[in-house]
Chain A
């Protein structure tokens, strides 16, 4: 299967989920909490003409105030900790957090040191973990799908 085929199948599934749950598109704010920048390379790739995730109803927005989800990369450096917390607090509820990449998941190669925080979930609650260093764009799309399911569960729980 080519990248394009894989993508079509996953993208359509994701699009349906988004429509069912949000009734509109999923707005994502990306936050770099000290990544090596390769995760950003892949997030940027999601918007190129091959992946073009906007067509599946995913929109990368400029402000956390417009976001349904934070897509966070990096191990949370000491110098980024406050900025991450501020961004999290500025995101309206109900919100989702996806930790993208090994270092966001658990500190990865940078570990837990004087400068590196050892993963996002030590600082803010995380809904999905997208492993990889960096995860391929397809893996990110898959991760978003899992995250959207999670939100569905969250909302149902609240309603029940």
Chain B
């Protein structure tokens, strides 16, 4: 494949490239271990290519070493460039790139915890997923670690960053919160009301999902993908299925593509409505919250009538979808048209209310340079001027054939994040209408008997943003499945968005970023 980027890398770094491998829109370059930092830095700063994932794989059995993959998205070319390095078991370390690319931070610490490979020079090498009471030599994603191992609890301590000074005190919150939300720990350092520093500590809900993928059949893995982050079930399942279908070289039938698109947009609708309801609740706009919650419930009931599941589960499968949604077209259109009217009424009222504006404008600002540095994705990124959307930049399902706008705003505050979601609600309604108007008869699934050995990326734009799966198969099993939920990118943004805001605004800022704990912790 011709690519401006790969050509340039070849020219600049030809002497350190050990191996090259192109499969569909993914180019894999294995480079010398000590040149990865230079090349990644070049791609990131010279080409402005976003670093969308870093992950390791234990290939000691086949190749005698661990591998680390740095995945860059080449949005303009609808392609991905993956820089690979080999790491020898005898020297289990690699150079950290976090000081050059801040978004590498958590990935490198994740690799350290899960594989025991040490990122040398990492600015914050504390444990991330394995809590302080985990033994120090337990690396769950190594192949010689049995998934059923019950690790003893050992003594250890987690040291939080400290902010000191006159009148500075700490407010620890969680992991069990006052509201019905997922568990995580937040530690605020405040002086009076304004927040001086926030440190988040997560991974309370780490369920060993990536290890589990390696221990179940590919068919069953679709159900597991649906449960990585429950409210983004469809986006995860489709991303996973697409990776497998890519490995198998299978093309799914048009009717399956359109069905998936409709499901993906229904999912976006109920999520965005829920987020808007949450923001309205947190600014004490009770009427708006009730209204938005009712609309969300209506979409969930529509989901149930169309698919049998309020969360649209159990519909996707390798090769297409399981059930035909034919016969429900009228119902969907009817519901969407009333949703459209009700929603625009609600948004008009919400944005016209001075008490709402007062709470959401300039609150929780996430500046563009920080959002970019952390690789913030989805509506949160678009509200901070990052013009990226997987549906447009790497089209999948039926998105190539449908027309839609990607709303992008600059101010990066709660207001912008609310407006981006509100605009996206209309786009989703229109996408479903367009999809239904092109819905043609035909199969909903291709049968894929054998899944060859191989590897590929699958990706979707979940309601929260870019969702990535890298799957490697071997003998009809999953050898490695790297899941990258959008929240894994976005969580750190909250530490910046809250600065100089007051503690009572934290819930709104948190809600407006709409972060998944389960998807992050896995």
Interface residues of chain A, those whose CB is within 8 Å of chain B, are: 3, 30-45, 47-51, 60, 62-64, 74-75, 77-80, 83, 86-87, 109-116, 133-134, 136
Residue B181 lies at the interface, judged by CB distance under 8 Å to chain A: yes
Beyond the given A86-B176, A113-B212, could you list 9 further A-B residue pairs with CB under 8 A, ordered by the A residue number? A35-B182, A38-B230, A42-B310, A78-B134, A80-B175, A109-B227, A114-B151, A115-B207, A136-B310
Are A38 and B231 CB-contacts (below 8 A) given A50-B297, A80-B175? yes
Partner of A113 from B148, B203, B204, B296 at Cβ < 8 Å = B148
Beta-carbon contact of B311 and A63 below 8 Å: no
| Bound CA span A50–B294, Å | 7
- CB of B182 within 8 A of CB of A110, answer no
Helix, strand, loop or mixed for chain B's interface?
A: loop
Judge whether A114 and B205 touch: CB under 8 Å.
no
Closest A residue to B140 by beta carbon equals A114
Query: Bound state CA distance, A34 and B521, in angstroms?
Result: 9
Task: Select which of B145, B181, B205 is within 8 A of A80 by beta carbon.
Answer: B205
* Size category of the binding interface on chain B: 35 or more
Contact pick for B294, options A38, A48, A60, A87, CB 8 Å:
A48
Interface positions of B (Cβ within 8 A of A): 131, 134, 138, 140, 145-151, 175-176, 178-183, 203-209, 211-212, 223-224, 227-231, 233, 274, 290, 293-294, 296-297, 300-301, 304, 310-311, 313, 516-519, 521
Give complex CA distance A86, B204 in Å. 15
Closest to B233 in A: A38
Q: With A87-B176, A114-B148, A136-B310 known to touch, is A48 a contact of B297 (CB < 8 Å)?
A: yes
Contact A37 to B518, CB < 8 A, known contacts A48-B293, A134-B311, A136-B310: yes
Closest-by-CB residue of B relative to A114 is B149
Q: Which of A40, A60, A113, A134 contacts B208 (CB 8 A)?
A: A113
**Pair A114/B297 contact, Cβ less than 8 Å:** no
Chain B contacts for A78, CB-based, 8 A: 131, 134, 151, 206
Chain B residues with CB under 8 Å of A79's CB are 131, 203-206, 521
Partner of B183, one of A3, A39, A83: A83
Q: Is the pair A110, B231 in contact by a Cβ cutoff of 8 Å? A: no
User: What residues of A have a CB within 8 angstroms of the CB of B224 in the complex?
Assistant: 109
Decide if B206 touches A115 in the complex (CB within 8 Å). Answer: yes
In the complex, A74 Cα to B208 Cα: how many Å?
A: 13
Chain A residues near B206: list those with CB within 8 A: 34, 77-79, 115
Distance of B110 from chain A, by nearest CB (Å): 14
Q: Which one of B138, B146, B206, B233 has the highest number of Cβ atoms from chain A below 10 Å of its Cβ?
A: B206
B145's closest neighbor in chain A, by CB?
Answer: A114
Least CB distance from B436 to A in Å reads: 24
